[in-house]
Amino acid sequence: MAWNNDCRFIGNITHPPHFQRVGPSLLPFMRLYLAVDDGKDKTSYVRVVAYGDLALQAYPYLQTGSKIMVQARYRQRRRHDKDEIVHEFVADHIVFLDKINWERGNAARNNWLGEQNTEAIGATEST
């Protein structure tokens, strides 16, 4: 891991997280916005994105108001549809702290694990 681009934030999610599958491989993708208090009556808002298993596993637990810690790396990119620069943080780890939707998250996790088991059984039976 490159420690020269390592950021950590603790904050509250300001809007419902967005989840979709992107690209030809349908890679899981999640985007959320985090309000981070700097302790001096000022709040900063950061855009956080996550990919793959992290997005798939974290998304169902999160909601507006969830307090999380994110370890991420900064990324700057140009939007493909506009002449605009996007500043965002690509999450490597997400830690749940408060106001987590455990019921919905656990149900989604159990469903996801069931799908994984079904795929594994199907692959075994076809060989």
Q: Identity (one letter) of the amino acid at 82? A: K
pLDDT at 10: 96
pLDDT at 91: 97
pTM: 0.80
The answer to whether 55 touches 28, Cβ cutoff 8 Å, is yes
List, in order of start, the domains of the chain with CATH numbers. Answer: 3-125 (2.40.50.140)
pLDDT at 124: 53
CA 38, distance to chain mean position in Å, is: 22
Using CB atoms within 10 Å of the CB of residue 2, give its burial: 0 to 12 exposed, 13 to 18 middle, 19+ buried: exposed
**pLDDT tens digits, the chain, 127 residues: what are they?**
556 889 999 999 999 999 999 999 999 999 999 999 988 889 999 999 999 999 999 999 999 999 999 999 999 988 877 788 889 999 999 999 999 999 988 998 888 777 766 665 655 555 5
Other C-beta atoms lying within 10 Å of the C-beta of residue 21? 11
